[in-house]
Structure 1
Amino acid sequence: MPARKPPARKRAAPLEKYREKRNFTKTPEPSAKVARGQGNSFVVQEHHARSLHYDFRLEMDGVLVSWAVPKGIPEDTAAKRLAVHVEDHPLDYGGFEGVIPEGNYGAGRVSIWDKGTWEPIGKDWKKQYASGKLKFVLRGSNLKGAYLLARMKDDTNWLMRKLDDKDIPVRPDVKLDRETPDFISPQLARPVPNVPIGEGWLHELKFDGYRLIAVRKKSSMKLFTRSGLDWTDKFSGIAKRLAAISKKDFVMDGEAVVFDGKGRSSFGGLQSALQAGDQEHIEFVAFDLLHLDGENLRDLPLSMRVERLKKLVPEESGAVRRSKVWPSSSGKELFKQACKTGLEGIISKSASGRYHEGSRKDWVKSKCRARQEFVVCGYTPPKGSLPAFGALVLASCEHGKMVPRGKVGTGFTEASRRKLLKLFQTIPTTEVPFRTKEPGVKWIKPQLVAEIEFAEITRDGSIRQGSFVGMREDKEAKDVQLDPLQITSTKRGKINVAGIPITHPERLVYPDDGISKLEVTKYYERVGPMMLPFVKDRPLSVLRAPDGISGSSFFQKSFSNFLPEHVLQQDLEDGSTVFSIRTLKGLVSLAQFGVIEFHLWGAKLPAPEKPDLLVWDLDPDPDVPWKEVLGGAFLTRDCLAGLGLETEVKTSGGKGLHIVLKTKRTLEWDEAKEFTKAVANIVAEHNPQRFITTASKSKRKGKIFIDWLRNGRGATCVAPWSLRARPGASVSMPLNWEDLSEATAAGFTIREPSSIPSEWKRIKPQTITKAMLRNVGL
């Protein structure tokens, strides 16, 4: 017989359980009062109780029906989150923020993370909810779109997922939210390796101009850059023309452009027109309508927004024109023609997609040539007959720090060189943002942004054959990151990395950072030659996240069904099964198979019983200052140096540091583990208030855990240069000791250049002698 579904949840008297769990003379939480009437509010509260979780609440029948979501509300369709159904809360709880005192149920700080309105999907939604399924649409500040809550076998455990925008039904009589028109952060596009195919896409040409958000409010017409700067005066001609197209309030997304004699948008032509005050030749191309006559249109599908835009901007030519839209079947051909005629490329958008402010998840760009913005950090002295300066020193801003991207010395006129030099001389600085071998650099404050066209990004992360296009006054330096993909391929078939075919190269592995599977595999291709000497022939444990880090992830120590190409697997004498790699193809093959993190044994095959790599993992409590972690690393280094042992250091890719010791295979596992424990204890004795060597989390508050447990047989440590499955795509980065003091708690990421530190090449395996063992008390 088929398994019976759990019965529908039976409610006690409204808010009875809520009342039973609280003493309202001791907690500031709202009393148990059922509201009258029907509302549609929702709230998400960040709750720092015994462990951080998020409370998700939907207004139904005068109460807030509530779930506790340990890992946060999913914001990506690949994510699936456990949501534990808890007692209903009073409607007043939706506005509660504060601290629930110790000794009370749910003690800890509560703050509102998001709030807004919700709408069920389907007329019979109450019946569906009673049976354990609820589809709904959220309209909040952070959360927007369709969601699903589905009850699992346990009556209290539900599964929460974000649905695709196409799952949101659109009724002809849909009631739109009312709002006052204002600046809206524009939706952005991420680069993709191939033009998207299949149904559901709309394609447009990519224009070479300034992105503008046009806001008409009553009789006022304002134009804003993508970062919110008011550029109405700069584009006064466009403002005047847009003000005349309608007396209704609106917010429009588009681009200011100047077309050349061949009908191509020209950024250089636009800058020349602005400098000359030539407003007549600057045109506005509208491609989206976000607000009209007091109504928020951003929750409508793109196809419906375009239809409404046509009524305001009916023509595809003229000083104010509508961007032409091509159907899904025309994408590849349109891209080929765009490249052939010298255009930048095309933009592809989901026809059913809502407008996601500031997001890159739903729009993609196919680029004909490598071109993007970089931060100008300095300039070199002029050479030969060049006036003003020789070249600009460039960087991108990755996780708040400047990462060098080489220099550019072509694409300037004599006049532009002199004009730029005057600008640079107004913002000199003595602070050097990064090390460089370039002599005589004049450093400036890293706040100016330039657009550069180039041939490619080299393995060390620098541009090759760069050419200056122009300055970008509309973009802030902090928003300039390296594009993960430089050009889009027109070839059919799978993309190969290191000879390995990559399936779903466009899949987002790090959704919030716009990092795709192709970028991950190319990263491992790039660092593979450095990484392999440390990974080759070692038993591995890998973390796989086939749907990206917002989806499910799991560790894998062996393969029972499918063994990826160029991966070797064998049984050890104790009957356990391990796998390893020997080549770059093996490394990339595992990345193709959804591997993000590589963790390695401290021993090599064919001698897995003899460790040759020992690690001390400094794992700090979140409250420990970074300088204390650095001090702990130096203290551990000095302790081992006192024994006559030379160590290496790397970041963990998280919040800690790893001290690494290469050893000759003279010890058994048990001896090696006892040695690492003894060293950890000696270091901890220097400052017992700061260090701890036991794994008990309850005792680690405000301390650094010196983790020596990674040195047992079968235990692993993350490999040098391995990515971590965390937002930001951090890397476990090897360093020289002399460079460690310059490292920050933010660490290093996938988009930073990598090299082998000299100490990691120089230091050879050392012998842990009997005298050393005696010196640590063994």
Structure 2
Amino acid sequence: MSDKLSKYRDKRDAERTPEPVPDSLSSSADGNAFVIQEHHARALHWDLRLERDGVLVSWAVPKGLPTDPGTNHLAVQTEDHPMEYLAFHGEIPKGEYGGGTMTVWDTGTYETEKWSDREVKFVLHGSRASGRFVLFRTRGKNWMIHRMDAAARDPFPPADPMLPTERTKPPRDASAYAFEFAWGGRRLLVPIEGGRTTAAREHPWLRGLAESFGSRTAVLDGELATLGGAEILVFYDLLYDDGHALTGEPYTARRAALEALGLAGAHWQTAPSWPEDFGPVRQAALEQGLPGVVAKRLDSPYEPGVSKSWLFIPS
């Protein structure tokens, strides 16, 4: 019988990589395990591995598993991997094959509905990945992966931002509002899916932000502002998070979800927000030469277009 791991071994030096390089094949208890690894290599991708006859048959999926039947994703078949890879995570040294950080994104069992050289139908039973999928070969090592059942995922929100109504005076009921700086920059919505964002076409430095989200989907609302002579993307709202639309949630819930992301980098940050405290915020805006303050109702949903729930008060 041919050595199913010969290609795997040929690509790796056990003295240079922490990856498992076993001498023989093994299997799981039931012979139907799977693992999906998030792989921050030269390009972010996810590795789907299905147990089959003592090895993990593997595909690299650049955009991760599709979340709805209307979108197919590319899946490039790679060499079979050893069963020990079910639990592998760590740093593959730079310069080695597949160099980069690898983490276990999900693991579990699967059911085989069909397996041939050109088509693999299966059902995943994992904590993060579940459902019916089919892999079908298109050309050579290139396959496509299609979801056969509907995922419980909200559609992305409209691409129109919420805009404030201008007022000369602050609201009387300050306790019903949070107050933020008006940055005087250019508005930018940033959709993130599969570790990528279309906003990177104009701003390539956003690729790092998108990659940091991994497989988590999101739509961020913010503003490109110049602070200290540098252009910074300041985020102040979150419209979509990990498959769930937040536009119908109150500002307080969206703000809490945004802050939980911990967005902080050389080119982006989370905007500060102060509930019930207009005076000091306006004074700080004046001192920093900012155009004014935006008051946001704590109970307001996200409403595309001009809204009276957000108020711009000039400095």
Give the shorter-chain TM-score range: 0.5 to 0.7
Residue 93, structure 1, aligned to residue 85, structure 2: yes
CA offsets per residue over residues 740-777 of structure 1, 9 Å max, x none? x979xxxxxx9345339xxxxxxxxxxxxxxxxxxxxx
C-alpha distance in 1, partners of 2:56/2:71? Answer: 24
CA offsets per residue over residues 42-80 of structure 1, 9 Å max, x none? 110000110110000000001000000011111211121
Residue 754, structure 1, aligned to residue 305, structure 2: yes
What residue in structure 2 maps to residue 191 of structure 1? none
Letter in 1 for 2:171: E
Which secondary structure state, in structure 2, belongs to the residue aligned with residue 631 of structure 1? Answer: strand
Letter in 2 for 1:755: V
TM-aligned CA deviation for residue 436 of structure 1: 8.5
Letter in 2 for 1:66: S
C-alpha distance in 2, partners of 1:52/1:652? Answer: 24
CA offsets per residue over residues 592-648 of structure 1, 9 Å max, x none? xxxxx9x9xxxxxxxxxxxxxxxxx6654537xxxxx6335x7489xxxxxxxxxxx
Residue 144, structure 1, aligned to residue 130, structure 2: yes
TM-aligned CA deviation for residue 443 of structure 1: 4.7
Which secondary structure state, in structure 1, belongs to the residue aligned with residue 306 of structure 2? Answer: coil
Letter in 1 for 2:46: Y
| Contact 1:77 1:161 (8 Å CA) reproduced | yes
What residue in structure 2 maps to residue 23 of structure 1? 13
C-alpha distance in 1, partners of 2:17/2:176? Answer: 57
1:543-582 to structure 2, matched below 5 A, reads: none
Residue 84, structure 1, aligned to residue 76, structure 2: yes
TM-aligned CA deviation for residue 13 of structure 1: 2.0
What residue in structure 1 maps to residue 175 of structure 2? 442
C-alpha distance in 2, partners of 1:42/1:102? Answer: 26
Which secondary structure state, in structure 2, belongs to the residue aligned with residue 87 of structure 1? Answer: coil
| Contact 2:72 2:144 (8 Å CA) reproduced | yes
Letter in 2 for 1:86: T
Pick closer, same or farther for the CA change 1:636–1:96 going to 2, 3 Å.
Answer: closer
TM-aligned CA deviation for residue 86 of structure 1: 0.2
What residue in structure 2 maps to residue 48 of structure 1? 40
Query: Which residue of 130, 141, 157 corresponds with 2:142?
Result: 157
Which secondary structure state, in structure 1, belongs to the residue aligned with residue 8 of structure 2? Answer: helix
Query: Which residue of 17, 30, 49 corresponds with 1:57?
Result: 49
Query: Could you say which structure has the greater relative contact order, defined with CA pairs below 8 angstroms and 6 or more residues apart?
Result: 2
TM-aligned CA deviation for residue 444 of structure 1: 8.8
Count the aligned residue pairs.
213
| Contact 2:121 2:135 (8 Å CA) reproduced | yes
Which secondary structure state, in structure 1, belongs to the residue aligned with residue 305 of structure 2? Answer: coil
C-alpha distance in 1, partners of 2:51/2:169? Answer: 58
| Contact 1:79 1:550 (8 Å CA) reproduced | no
Pick closer, same or farther for the CA change 1:441–1:71 going to 2, 3 Å.
Answer: same
1:220-259 to structure 2, matched below 5 A, reads: none
TM-aligned CA deviation for residue 440 of structure 1: 3.6
| Contact 1:78 1:550 (8 Å CA) reproduced | no
C-alpha distance in 2, partners of 1:85/1:620? Answer: 30
Residue 34, structure 1, aligned to residue 55, structure 2: no
TM-aligned CA deviation for residue 17 of structure 1: 0.2
What residue in structure 1 maps to residue 241 of structure 2? none
Letter in 2 for 1:136: F
Which secondary structure state, in structure 1, belongs to the residue aligned with residue 79 of structure 2? Answer: strand
Pick closer, same or farther for the CA change 1:404–1:440 going to 2, 3 Å.
Answer: farther
C-alpha distance in 2, partners of 1:438/1:29? Answer: 60
C-alpha distance in 2, partners of 1:742/1:12? Answer: 68
Pick closer, same or farther for the CA change 1:156–1:650 going to 2, 3 Å.
Answer: closer
Residue 120, structure 1, aligned to residue 106, structure 2: no
Pick closer, same or farther for the CA change 1:158–1:737 going to 2, 3 Å.
Answer: farther
What residue in structure 1 maps to residue 291 of structure 2? 738
Which secondary structure state, in structure 2, belongs to the residue aligned with residue 751 of structure 1? Answer: coil
TM-aligned CA deviation for residue 103 of structure 1: 2.0
C-alpha distance in 2, partners of 1:436/1:139? Answer: 56
Which secondary structure state, in structure 2, belongs to the residue aligned with residue 18 of structure 1? Answer: helix
Letter in 2 for 1:146: R
Structure 1 runs not aligned, ≥5 long: 1-10, 166-355, 363-397, 406-434, 446-548, 556-596, 600-616, 624-628, 638-648, 654-701, 705-735, 744-749, 757-778
What residue in structure 2 maps to residue 13 of structure 1? 3
What residue in structure 2 maps to residue 70 of structure 1? 62
Which secondary structure state, in structure 1, belongs to the residue aligned with residue 84 of structure 2? Answer: helix
1:431-470 to structure 2, matched below 5 A, reads: 437-443=170-176
Letter in 2 for 1:631: T
Pick closer, same or farther for the CA change 1:163–1:618 going to 2, 3 Å.
Answer: closer
What residue in structure 1 maps to residue 247 of structure 2? none
| Contact 2:134 2:147 (8 Å CA) reproduced | yes
Structure 2 runs not aligned, ≥5 long: 179-191, 210-223, 237-264, 268-288, 296-300, 308-315
C-alpha distance in 2, partners of 1:89/1:650? Answer: 41
C-alpha distance in 1, partners of 2:4/2:233? Answer: 56
C-alpha distance in 2, partners of 1:652/1:404? Answer: 15
C-alpha distance in 2, partners of 1:68/1:29? Answer: 17
| Contact 2:58 2:80 (8 Å CA) reproduced | yes
What residue in structure 1 maps to residue 225 of structure 2? 630
C-alpha distance in 1, partners of 2:50/2:109? Answer: 9
C-alpha distance in 1, partners of 2:169/2:302? Answer: 18
CA offsets per residue over residues 459-498 of structure 1, 9 Å max, x none? xxxxxxxxxxxxxxxxxxxxxxxxxxxxxxxxxxxxxxxx
1:84-483 to structure 2, matched below 5 A, reads: 84-121=76-113, 125-126=114-115, 129-130=116-117, 132-152=118-138, 154-164=139-149, 359=152, 437-443=170-176
C-alpha distance in 1, partners of 2:304/2:169? Answer: 13
CA offsets per residue over residues 196-248 of structure 1, 9 Å max, x none? xxxxxxxxxxxxxxxxxxxxxxxxxxxxxxxxxxxxxxxxxxxxxxxxxxxxx
The percentage of counterpart residues that share the same residue type is: 38
Letter in 1 for 2:12: R
Pick closer, same or farther for the CA change 1:752–1:96 going to 2, 3 Å.
Answer: same
C-alpha distance in 1, partners of 2:203/2:42? Answer: 24
